């Protein structure tokens, strides 16, 4: 029995390990072709990442990627492809930034208000795509892509002008943006939590408080999906809508709910930046919604897997700087590595799945053959 | 079904990532758009007073020291240049910055490294910090670096920082002051450059009527300086010239910097009224002007011209309209970077804004297309008069 367990564990861990090894080998080849020394590049990356300040950067980068990844994963578990995370988080970002600057509340309420607004906006916007799907049969891929355009070149572009704070922003950073949110609405950094374990964080780096929110989202995602009736309905409806319909689960209802939940989490993606700067700038950090799809894919939609994927992406993104400054490689190598890792991961998982299937079939056959004493 | 979908997705995503790794040109155009649109969409009404004052006094030390410049001694100064998104190859600010740093390497003997942010613009601050770890001077290309440079500059007081196209003044402080002793803003005497393209317009105009389109009025007089220089230049060579001026929007409505459709309407109206050359200081709205020049020329059969701003728009605008771009008023990012590095070596770097003017070629006009070659002599003569002080270019219309 224990032998089988170890075997299964080995199989399970084989995929990610193989993916990383193959990705490193392929990236090394690309680095060699482009005239860089792979060992020097990897040494720079590891050495840079071993600094506390860099680790803060990695976590700050991984936090929105994790939220974005979970948002995409919720859709995937229901067999829905929510490409609209990009538009949902930017819309939630600008609306929460604007409304957050309009109210005066005690700190805890103020922060909660902003986060709730962001989740509500993201949820409603994404839910609209779900409603379109179940009432009008509009494929959610099409509708969310179009809703992205509505936000990016429509609503956000309009509101940034409408809600422009004028000269006040330049006091804080010289950029165009919405009115800054009062200090009471900003989630404090959690450097002090980190400093319990290690030394003081230098260089003015701040570990985002949204990390805590992201962890809570991850736990809630895990519990709802795996420990509740609703989560079971969601997964079964995604796997086989007809069967679960017969079992009493309305697939239409599940589509709208899943899209709404996905959008609610998406709404939190932009909060990492908002809680840091306090306003929506003319050039918010973008593309997080699309990267989230890749993160969810790499993390297999699993709450912990997505977290690992977000950390890998965060690590690679943060490495882009040191590779350029040290001259070890160009920035593009980071993008290539991300692509290679996704590809190798998917292939490795598929290979492992087939091996497992074959073994199960063989085991079943063996059991059948020796039917009286089958105890393996 | 499920698995296939994911496999397909994975391949698509990988391709997309690879494509985005290779396709830098596209990113430059889409993502970095607001940057060349840098007729300063910064909304701060206040920068004006400082920036107007700066051009006159600041560059003087430069001019006095110019004669003793040729001393190509090697220094051990190293510079970290941080481009805006897209890096080299944008035919605009980034490329100009690259030219400046290469000149500094050749003539001043500095060493340098380059970096550019992630396509989503998320790591400007990180790059500045990394550059500061390894270099004596760190330069950010574009005003989007202002906030990060102010923060990183405060953490690294022994490193000198420069930000192109931002005054690097803290308007939150009272009185308004530079962000730090080690932080310089590299800005430009746009009125002097506008003077030369105004003169070019008046020299080239067949109808005796020219136009000016400003992006946003009353941004503390920022865009009015372009108009003042343009008008003065035109009237200097032709006192009878008729100039039609218009602004797309008025502060606090900043739409004017990114409203090509409205710029096009205004330009078409100007061409209808008989203007045959129109200059814009309207950032991204300029595309509408170029389109209007193309359409008007094709509709009437007689050629009308547009004049670009900030960078050489003959290279940055759509290829289809480049033959209608007479010249462009240039902010010479390369010059500002070279001069800033030199000022650090000489120990004359000033915190806050330094405006690079005609005396150091900090502004100028482009000759791409060869449309102004026939009047180059006149323009150079005017330039010499401005540098010598014989002509004083106004900053208010």
Q: Give B384 to chain A, closest Cα distance, Å.
A: 35
**Percent over 70 (pLDDT), chain A:** 95
Of residues B379 and A240, more confidence is placed in: B379
A13-27, A85-99, A325-339: which is most confident: A85-99
Half-sphere CA count of A363, side-chain side, radius 13 A? 9
pLDDT tens figures, A77-88:
888 888 999 999
For B134, the closest of A171, A297, A325 (CB atoms) is: A325
Average pLDDT over residues A135-158: 86
Instruction: Give yes or no: residues A317 and A338 share one domain.
Output: no
Please say if the pLDDT value at position B65 is more than 80. no
For A325, the closest of B14, B46, B113 (CB atoms) is: B113
Burial class from Cβ neighbours inside 10 Å (0-12, 13-18, 19+) for residue A120 reads middle
Instruction: Give yes or no: residues B71 and B169 share one domain.
Output: yes
Q: Give A213 to chain B, closest Cα distance, Å.
A: 20
Of residues B174 and A279, more confidence is placed in: A279
For B21, the closest of A327, A335, A345 (CB atoms) is: A335
Is residue A362 a part of any domain in this protein?
yes
Look at residues B266, B342, B301, B390 and name the one whose alpha carbon lies nearest to residue B109: B342
Instruction: Give yes or no: residues B211 and B326 share one domain.
Output: yes
Is residue A299 a part of any domain in this protein?
yes
Burial class from Cβ neighbours inside 10 Å (0-12, 13-18, 19+) for residue B190 reads buried
How high is the pLDDT of residue B68? 45
Instruction: Give yes or no: residues A314 and A346 share one domain.
Output: no
Q: Give A123 to chain B, closest Cα distance, Å.
A: 24
Please say if the pLDDT value at position B274 is more than 60. yes
How high is the pLDDT of residue A64? 95
Rounded alpha-carbon distances, angstroms, from residue A58 to A48, A50, A365: 11, 11, 49
Please say if the pLDDT value at position B178 is more than 60. yes
Mean pLDDT across chain A, nearest whole number? 85
Look at residues A35, A40, A38, A43 and name the one whose alpha carbon lies nearest to residue A27: A38
Element (H, E) at A160: helix A156-162
pLDDT tens figures, A329-339:
888 888 888 88
Under 8 Å between Cβ of B12 and A145 = no
Instruction: Give yes or no: residues B231 and B145 share one domain.
Output: no
Element (H, E) at A140: helix A140-149
Instruction: Give yes or no: residues A356 and A248 share one domain.
Output: no
Average pLDDT over residues A162-180: 58
Chain B residues with CB inside 8 Å of A320's CB? 118, 123
> Which candidate in A201, A321, A343 is best for mutational testing of the B interface (most B CBs within 10 A)?
A321
Instruction: Give yes or no: residues A129 and A7 share one domain.
Output: no
Instruction: Give yes or no: residues B182 and B230 share one domain.
Output: no
Chain A residues with CB inside 8 Å of B152's CB? 204
Q: Which residues partner with A341 through β-bridges?
A: none
Alpha carbon distance B311, B316 (integer Å)? 8
Residue B243's φ and ψ, nearest 5 degrees, are -120, 125
Domain of B379: which CATH number? 3.40.50.2300
Residues 35-94 of A with CB under 8 A from B: 57, 61, 76, 79, 81
Please say if the pLDDT value at position B4 is more than 70. no
B171/A170 touch (CB, cutoff 8 Å), yes or no:
yes
Alpha carbon distance A17, A23 (integer Å)? 10
Instruction: Give yes or no: residues A317 and A334 share one domain.
Output: no
Residue B255's φ and ψ, nearest 5 degrees, are -55, -30
Instruction: Give yes or no: residues A142 and A67 share one domain.
Output: yes
Block residue for tokens 């073994």: A359
Is residue B6 a part of any domain in this protein?
no
Given pLDDT bands bounded at 50, 70 and 90, which one contains residue A1? low
Q: How many separate helices (H) and strands (E) can be counted in chain B? A: 14, 14
Instruction: Give yes or no: residues B141 and B262 share one domain.
Output: no
Instruction: Give yes or no: residues B178 and B195 share one domain.
Output: no
What does the block give as tokens for A58? 């990695």
Look at residues B110, B118, B175, B177 and name the one whose alpha carbon lies nearest to residue B150: B177
For A164, the closest of B13, B46, B254 (CB atoms) is: B254
Alpha carbon distance B105, B76 (integer Å)? 11
Segments forming the whole domain that contains residue A359: 1-36+330-376
Instruction: Give yes or no: residues A69 and A107 share one domain.
Output: yes
Beta strand residue intervals within chain B, DSSP E: 78-82, 111-115, 137-140, 160-164, 169-170, 177-178, 183-188, 209-217, 242-250, 277-281, 305-310, 325-331, 352-356, 363-365
Is residue A44 a part of any domain in this protein?
no
B120/A327 touch (CB, cutoff 8 Å), yes or no:
no
Residues 87-146 of A with CB under 8 A from B: none
Instruction: Give yes or no: residues B202 and B344 share one domain.
Output: no
A164-173, A316-325, B235-244: which is most confident: B235-244
Is residue B19 a part of any domain in this protein?
no
Domain of A86: which CATH number? 1.10.3470
B45/A285 touch (CB, cutoff 8 Å), yes or no:
no
Alpha carbon distance B126, B119 (integer Å)? 14
Chain B residues with CB inside 8 Å of A294's CB? 13, 17
> Which candidate in A154, A174, A348 is best for mutational testing of the B interface (most B CBs within 10 A)?
A174
How high is the pLDDT of residue B39? 41
For B121, the closest of A171, A172, A283 (CB atoms) is: A283
User: Strands B363-365 and B325-331, how do they pair?
Assistant: antiparallel
B120/A239 touch (CB, cutoff 8 Å), yes or no:
no
Q: Give A264 to chain B, closest Cα distance, Å.
A: 22
Instruction: Give yes or no: residues A255 and A368 share one domain.
Output: no
B41/A176 touch (CB, cutoff 8 Å), yes or no:
yes
pLDDT tens figures, B141-163:
988 888 889 889 988 999 999 99
Average pLDDT over residues A100-121: 91
Does any CB of chain B come closer than 8 Å to the CB of residue A343?
yes
Q: Give B79 to chain A, closest Cα distance, Å.
A: 11
Listed range (A81-90, A203-212, B73-82, B327-336) with the worst mean pLDDT:
B73-82
Chain A residues with CB inside 8 Å of B120's CB? 285-288, 291
pLDDT tens figures, B242-263:
999 999 988 667 778 778 899 9
Is residue B256 a part of any domain in this protein?
yes
For B43, the closest of A169, A285, A320 (CB atoms) is: A169
Mean pLDDT across chain B, nearest whole number? 80
Chain A residues with CB inside 8 Å of B7's CB? 346, 350
Instruction: Give yes or no: residues B130 and B204 share one domain.
Output: no
How high is the pLDDT of residue B126? 87
A287/B126 touch (CB, cutoff 8 Å), yes or no:
no
Q: Give A209 to chain B, closest Cα distance, Å.
A: 18
Alpha carbon distance B183, B139 (integer Å)? 10
Instruction: Give yes or no: residues B172 and B246 share one domain.
Output: no
Under 8 Å between Cβ of A23 and A337 = yes
Please say if the pLDDT value at position B40 is more than 60. no
Under 8 Å between Cβ of A48 and A54 = yes
Instruction: Give yes or no: residues B296 and B206 share one domain.
Output: yes
Is residue A268 a part of any domain in this protein?
yes
Instruction: Give yes or no: residues A18 and A153 share one domain.
Output: no
A165/B43 touch (CB, cutoff 8 Å), yes or no:
yes
**DSSP-assigned letters across all residues of B72-93:** ------EEEEE--TT-S-SSSH
A336/B166 touch (CB, cutoff 8 Å), yes or no:
no
Q: Give B177 to chain A, closest Cα distance, Å.
A: 11
Instruction: Give yes or no: residues A320 and A338 share one domain.
Output: no
Enter the DSSP assignment of A214: H
Chain B residues with CB inside 8 Å of A279's CB? none
How high is the pLDDT of residue B94? 85
For B20, the closest of A172, A335, A342 (CB atoms) is: A335
Chain B residues with CB inside 8 Å of A319's CB? none
Chain A residues with CB inside 8 Å of B215's CB? none
For A321, the closest of B130, B166, B253 (CB atoms) is: B130
Provide Rg for chain B, Cα atoms. 21
How high is the pLDDT of residue A373? 53
Instruction: Give yes or no: residues B184 and B217 share one domain.
Output: no
Burial class from Cβ neighbours inside 10 Å (0-12, 13-18, 19+) for residue B61 reads middle
A321/B123 touch (CB, cutoff 8 Å), yes or no:
yes
Is residue B234 a part of any domain in this protein?
yes
Chain B residues with CB inside 8 Å of A204's CB? 151-152, 154-155
Instruction: Give yes or no: residues A137 and A267 share one domain.
Output: yes
For B10, the closest of A174, A286, A297 (CB atoms) is: A297
Instruction: Give yes or no: residues B242 and B373 share one domain.
Output: yes
Is residue A88 a part of any domain in this protein?
yes
Q: How many domains is chain A partitioned into structurally?
A: 2
Please say if the pLDDT value at position B54 is more than 70. no
pLDDT tens figures, A266-308:
999 999 999 988 888 877 888 899 999 989 988 888 899 899 9
Q: Pick the residue from chain A with its C-alpha nearest to B253.
A: A161
Alpha carbon distance B313, B327 (integer Å)? 8
Is residue B108 a part of any domain in this protein?
yes
Kindly report the number of other CB atoms within 10 A of residue B373's CB atom. Answer: 9
A335/B17 touch (CB, cutoff 8 Å), yes or no:
yes
How high is the pLDDT of residue B53? 40
Instruction: Give yes or no: residues A301 and A375 share one domain.
Output: no
B13/A297 touch (CB, cutoff 8 Å), yes or no:
yes
Q: How many domains is chain B partitioned into structurally?
A: 2
A193-207, B40-54, B138-152: which is most confident: B138-152
Task: Kindly report whether the peptide bond that precedes residue B252 is cis, defined as omega within 30 degrees of 0.
Answer: yes
Under 8 Å between Cβ of A264 and A125 = no
A342/B80 touch (CB, cutoff 8 Å), yes or no:
no
> Which candidate in B1, B31, B43 is best for mutational testing of the A interface (most A CBs within 10 A)?
B43
Is residue B274 a part of any domain in this protein?
yes
Give the number of A-B residue pairs with CB atoms closer than 8 Å. 157
Look at residues B161, B36, B28 and name the one whose alpha carbon lies nearest to residue B87: B28
Does any CB of chain B come closer than 8 Å to the CB of residue A28?
no
Q: Pick the residue from chain B with its C-alpha nearest to A167.
A: B44
How high is the pLDDT of residue B146? 84
Segments forming the whole domain that contains residue B237: 191-331+367-388
Is residue A315 a part of any domain in this protein?
yes
Is residue A50 a part of any domain in this protein?
no
Enter the DSSP assignment of B34: T
Is residue B283 a part of any domain in this protein?
yes
Half-sphere CA count of B132, side-chain side, radius 13 A? 25
Alpha carbon distance A85, A76 (integer Å)? 13
Is residue A208 a part of any domain in this protein?
yes
Chain B residues with CB inside 8 Å of A342's CB? 10, 13-14, 17
Please say if the pLDDT value at position A190 is more than 70. yes
User: Strands B325-331 and B305-310, how do they pair?
Assistant: parallel
Chain A residues with CB inside 8 Å of B21's CB? 332, 335-336, 339
């Amino acid at each position: 029995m224990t032998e089988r367990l170890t075997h299964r564990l080995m199989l399970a861990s084989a995929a990610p390990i193989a993916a990383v090894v193959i990705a490193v080998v392929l990236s090394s080849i690309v680095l060699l072709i482009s005239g860089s020394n792979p060992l020097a590049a990897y040494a720079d990356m590891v050495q840079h990442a071993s600094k506390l300040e860099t680790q803060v950067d990695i976590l700050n980068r991984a936090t929105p990627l994790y939220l974005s990844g979970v948002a995409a994963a919720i859709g995937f578990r229901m067999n829905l492809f929510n490409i609209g995370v990009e538009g949902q988080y930017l819309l939630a970002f600008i609306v929460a930034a604007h409304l957050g600057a309009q109210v005066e509340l005690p700190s805890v309420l103020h922060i909660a208000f902003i986060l709730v607004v962001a989740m509500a906006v993201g949820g409603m916007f994404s839910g609209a795509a779900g409603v379109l799907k179940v009432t009008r049969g509009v494929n959610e891929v099409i509708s969310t892509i179009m809703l992205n355009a509505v936000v990016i070149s429509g609503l956000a572009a309009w509101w940034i002008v409408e809600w422009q704070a004028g000269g006040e922003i330049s006091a804080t950073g010289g950029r165009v943006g919405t009115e800054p949110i009062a200090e009471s609405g900003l989630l404090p950094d959690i450097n002090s939590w980190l400093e319990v374990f290690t030394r003081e964080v230098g260089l003015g780096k701040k570990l985002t408080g949204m990390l805590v929110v992201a962890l809570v989202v991850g736990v809630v995602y895990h519990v709802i999906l795996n420990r509740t009736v609703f989560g079971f309905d969601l997964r079964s409806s995604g796997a086989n809508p007809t069967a679960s319909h017969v079992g009493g689960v309305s697939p239409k209802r599940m589509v709208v709910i899943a899209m709404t939940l996905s959008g609610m989490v998406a709404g939190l993606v932009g909060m990492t930046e908002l809680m840091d700067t306090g306003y929506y700038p003319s050039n918010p950090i973008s593309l997080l919604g699309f990267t989230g799809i890749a993160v969810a894919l790499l993390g297999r939609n699993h709450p912990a897997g997505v977290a690992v994927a977000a950390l890998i992406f965060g690590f690679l993104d943060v490495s882009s700087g040191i590779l350029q400054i040290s001259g070890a490689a160009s920035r593009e190598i980071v993008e290539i590595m991300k692509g290679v890792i996704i590809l190798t991961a998917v292939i490795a998982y598929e290979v492992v799945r087939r091996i497992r299937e074959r073994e199960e079939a063989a085991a079943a056959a063996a059991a059948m053959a020796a039917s009286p004493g089958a105890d393996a | 079904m499920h698995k296939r979908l994911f496999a397909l997705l994975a391949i698509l995503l990988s391709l997309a990532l690879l494509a985005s790794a290779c396709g830098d040109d596209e990113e430059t155009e889409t993502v970095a758009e607001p940057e060349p649109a840098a007729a300063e969409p910064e909304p701060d009404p206040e920068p004006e007073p400082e920036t107007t004052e700066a051009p006159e006094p600041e560059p003087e030390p430069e001019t006095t020291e110019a004669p003793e410049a040729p001393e190509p001694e090697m220094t051990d100064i190293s510079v970290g240049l941080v481009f805006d998104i897209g890096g080299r190859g944008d035919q605009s600010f980034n490329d100009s910055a690259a030219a400046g740093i290469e000149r500094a390497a050749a003539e001043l003997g500095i060493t340098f490294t380059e970096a550019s942010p992630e396509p989503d613009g998320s790591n400007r601050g990180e790059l500045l910090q990394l550059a500061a770890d390894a270099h004596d001077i760190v330069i950010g290309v574009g005003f989007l670096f202002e906030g990060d440079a102010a923060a990183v500059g405060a953490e690294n007081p022994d490193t000198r920082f420069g930000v192109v196209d931002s005054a690097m003044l803290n308007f939150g402080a009272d009185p308004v002051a530079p962000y730090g002793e080690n932080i310089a803003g590299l800005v430009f005497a746009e009125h002097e450059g506008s003077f030369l393209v105004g003169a070019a317009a008046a020299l080239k105009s067949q109808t005796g009527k020219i136009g000016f389109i400003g992006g946003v009025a009353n941004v503390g007089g920022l865009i009015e300086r372009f108009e003042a220089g343009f008008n003065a230049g035109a009237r200097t060579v032709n006192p009878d010239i008729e100039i039609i001026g218009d602004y797309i929007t008025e502060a606090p409505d900043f739409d004017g910097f990114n409203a090509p459709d409205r710029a096009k309407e205004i330009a078409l109206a100007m061409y209808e009224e008989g203007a045959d050359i129109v200059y814009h200081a309207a950032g991204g709205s300029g595309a509408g002007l170029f389109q209007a020049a193309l359409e008007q020329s094709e509709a009437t059969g007689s050629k009308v011209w547009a004049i670009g701003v900030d960078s050489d728009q003959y290279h940055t605008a759509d290829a289809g309209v480049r033959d209608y771009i007479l010249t462009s008023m240039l902010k010479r990012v390369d010059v500002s970077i070279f001069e800033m590095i030199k000022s650090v070596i000489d120990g004359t770097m000033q915190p806050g804004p330094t405006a690079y003017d005609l005396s150091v070629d900090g502004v100028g006009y482009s000759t791409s297309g060869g449309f102004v070659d026939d009047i180059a002599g006149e323009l150079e003569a005017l330039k010499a008069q401005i540098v010598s002080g014989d002509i004083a270019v106004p900053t208010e219309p």
